[in-house]
Chain A
């Protein structure tokens, strides 16, 4: 059976499986906690249990976590399991811009389906009972019949229309879930969802101009975030660099061109990596990070960057941004880890917290 774990000061709640270590559950859910040795010896991952009961495993060294600390309700996240639902407080920074909408399970009804590109479908879901309150950039988990485990999809529509949320689904060859959603789902079908989830959102209280770097179906979150920003009268400079292979795979062009025409502080830079002769493309070519480097002359200092797309694109963009003097504290990404990625989740070094 699984337990609910709430992590303060984030206020985020995640699920922890039986016998799953707290640290493991947090890292897999995309919540970074400080850690180093990952086997109970160093004490870096010490957290305070505020509510509920945990069990210290034998790995927790009596020097890394002393008796007096155990009595105070401290535990090592890497060497503790839950025995009830729990609330812990960890040494992570609170997020003043997080809205922390409650997560709920709900059914949504397919209102319409649009082919956005030859490979991406826009699925519009009607959510009853006042709709789904979410923060732009967040995602929902969707259960697909016949597929084990839910699949995550970012919400592409603005939070101002909570009664109808838009998901963009790229059909992956041999992917059972996307195959179902793109080929077999029909208007009127009921879909089981839970959400809103994720900590990818605009740090709007920060004074810096923003750049959004997106690729493929990773446009969903930035689209929702940019719509939300301008609906709320954003005055900071906002740049969207969006990469696709060909002109046919580029979508929402009219929407963003219209926004750019209306708001002088919004710039839209579409970029194609493999334009065909038929595309007669005169815009930027190459990959997203290359276009970003050209556009900003490899100087990103003083920006906030939001990255969304496939892992190789994100990694290339992080490297380009860091080369241009923008570092972890100003870079935000949404990573969709596959089951295989998550399994090797701890192979990285602890040098970076979120990236």
Chain B
């Protein structure tokens, strides 16, 4: 069999594994100081199955071709004034949320994978993480480039990194990723590669990319396709990591279960922002948050956890709460954005009549009973010249940092609040899921940098009022913040369209 053709696996092993060696000048535990303290036991790194077999040579070739294609389309989009063909200027809110909230996460992911790409003892896992680190940097850059064209025409896109560090609602994604980045290497890959990139990825990518396609945004759609062709590697890495760790030692199972419980819940809370985008920010609707949750979690997620149960892994704790909440959270979040938009980097508005009907259709009684009346009241106040803005800072969960607008699952009229005392301090949470995470790691989460507390302590440039805070955020009313219908974006949009409001009148694309 000497002349047998090498299989792809053997070829890849010959090209990658020889780069690794057992160190002799320094003990291996000093060279890889982080991959044991979590308690994860790896008996045999050679059992690692490469989730993909890509050489650097092929990687550069493919990625450069993808870039050429993407930038050709971005160029033609800007040369043809593609910004004029989006469904409505309200759509830009989704892009602002992405640029402020998601793009910085891509860069965090780059840093995280650089870190674990150095600190795993197994060469196969290191190579896979290093490749993903490059992908993530590419995603951050291509997103900024894709959005930079819009920055010439719309507000809210010019200072994403500054916003990430200062905006209260952006502490939600920021704290999510900083929690992951400061975890051990196994927790990092479980949180990002598995829970986020595998279990919940469709709930992030599909709404934005399909939302872009439905709303005439070719630039973002093309970027999305370009990124999605990398995501497959990330997803397979996530699955491989979990299988590998679970198979290495039975003591790993409870640790992985705790990671899965934690990162499912953290990811789910972060996705409240995405769900709100789907239900409220897209003028043309793709599907509702409740529908997306049904398909991507209740169907696909359950199938995955049915397979995982063979390893003794059960469904994530509180998944049934997340499923019950699907009929409420997006409406509750938009209500907060509508009332707090003087201090955000995007605009908010009341749903138009066609959108109210769509929400009734998708959410039935929950919307008509609990949320429609609220919007109708706000509408009357707007007509009377008394557009309601909140002038207080929100009460924020110590773990997920979402303002606590959530309600008890069985009583949507009652705010859900949980408390925990630790070392003489009282901490507040939005849910049992978030409280449990704190209780498991109090030393970590007692340090959470909670924007409202920081503002009151004078750490937001000394701002005492919401207006002063908005100024420190560099988000003046009218241009960057405040109601959409009194914004520069809206005025410009009318001007570019001969005074016509081009808003769609149906949800269907």
Residues of A within 8 A of B (CB): 9, 34, 36-37, 41-44, 61-64, 66-69, 89, 91, 93-94, 96, 318-319, 322-323, 325, 327-328, 347-352, 355
Contacts and interface: CB of A to CB of B under 8 A. Distances in A.
Interface residues of B, number: 36
Contacts of B303: 347-349
A63 B7 contact: no
B207 to A, nearest CB: 15
A41 B229 contact: yes
Contacts of B311: 322
Contacts of B407: none
Contacts of A89: 8
Interface stretch (B150-158, B232-240, B420-428): B232-240
Contact of B62 (A34, A66, A350): A66
Contacts of A319: 309-310
B312 A323 contact: yes
A34 B239 contact: no
B232 A43 contact: yes
Interface string B319-353: 00000000000000000000000000000000000
A318 B310 contact: yes
B9 interface: yes
A44 B225 contact: no
A63 B233 CA distance: 14
B65 interface: yes
Nearest to B50: A91
Nearest to A351: B307
Contacts of B231: 42
B444 interface: no
B65 A68 contact: yes
A34 B310 contact: no
B243 interface: yes
Nearest to A37: B232
B7 A36 contact: no
Contacts of B225: 41, 61-64
B243 A351 contact: yes
B300 A36 contact: no
A349 B7 contact: no
A44 B236 contact: yes
Nearest to A41: B228
B126 interface: no
Given A63-B66, A93-B9, A350 B232 contact: no
B310 A36 contact: no
Given A96-B1, A348-B303, A351-B307, 16 more contacts: A34-B236, A37-B228, A41-B229, A42-B229, A42-B231, A43-B229, A43-B232, A62-B225, A63-B225, A64-B232, A66-B69, A323-B312, A349-B304, A350-B239, A352-B307, A355-B310
B5 interface: yes
A61 B228 CA distance: 10
Contacts of A347: 303
B247 interface: yes
A91 B9 contact: yes
Interface in B295-314: 300, 303-304, 306-312
B85 to A, nearest CB: 21
Nearest to A90: B8
A34 B7 CA distance: 15
A66 B7 contact: no
Q: Which of A61, A64, A93 has the most chain B CB atoms closer than 10 A to its own CB?
A: A64
B65 to A, nearest CB: 5
B53 interface: yes
Given A42-B235, A319-B310, A349-B307, A61 B229 contact: yes
A272 to B, nearest CB: 26
Contacts of A91: 8-9, 53
Contact of A62 (B8, B9, B69, B243): B69
26 contacts: A9-B5, A36-B236, A37-B228, A37-B232, A41-B229, A42-B231, A42-B232, A43-B229, A44-B52, A61-B229, A62-B69, A63-B66, A63-B229, A64-B229, A66-B66, A66-B69, A67-B65, A69-B62, A91-B9, A93-B9, A322-B312, A325-B247, A349-B304, A349-B307, A351-B308, A352-B307
A318 B312 CA distance: 12
A260 B61 CA distance: 59
A91 B13 CA distance: 13
Given A63-B69, A322-B310, A351 B239 contact: yes
Nearest to A44: B232
Interface in B184-243: 225-226, 228-229, 231-233, 235-236, 239, 243
A121 to B, nearest CB: 35
A299 B310 CA distance: 15
* 10 closest Cβ pairs, A-B complex: A42-B232, A349-B304, A44-B232, A63-B229, A351-B307, A64-B229, A63-B225, A349-B303, A94-B7, A63-B226
Nearest to B247: A327
Contacts of B70: 63
A68 B229 CA distance: 15
Contacts of A323: 312
A34 B69 CA distance: 26
Contacts of A350: 236, 239
Nearest to A65: B229
Nearest to A318: B310
A93 B10 CA distance: 9
B250 interface: yes
B307 A64 contact: no
B16 to A, nearest CB: 15
Nearest to B70: A63
A62 B226 CA distance: 9
Contacts of A355: 310
A205 B12 CA distance: 23
Contacts of A96: 1
A62 B225 CA distance: 8
A64 B233 CA distance: 11
Given A63-B226, A64-B228, A351-B243, A325 B69 contact: no
Contact of B304 (A9, A42, A351): A351
B403 to A, nearest CB: 34
Nearest to A327: B247
B307 A348 contact: yes
B232 A325 contact: no
Contact of B250 (A37, A64, A69, A325): A325
A137 B9 CA distance: 26
Contacts of B247: 325, 327
A328 B49 CA distance: 12
Contacts of B239: 350-351
Q: Which of A68, A93, A96, A351 has the most chain B CB atoms closer than 10 A to its own CB?
A: A351
Contacts of B243: 327-328, 351
Given A42-B231, A347-B303, A93 B7 contact: yes
B427 to A, nearest CB: 36
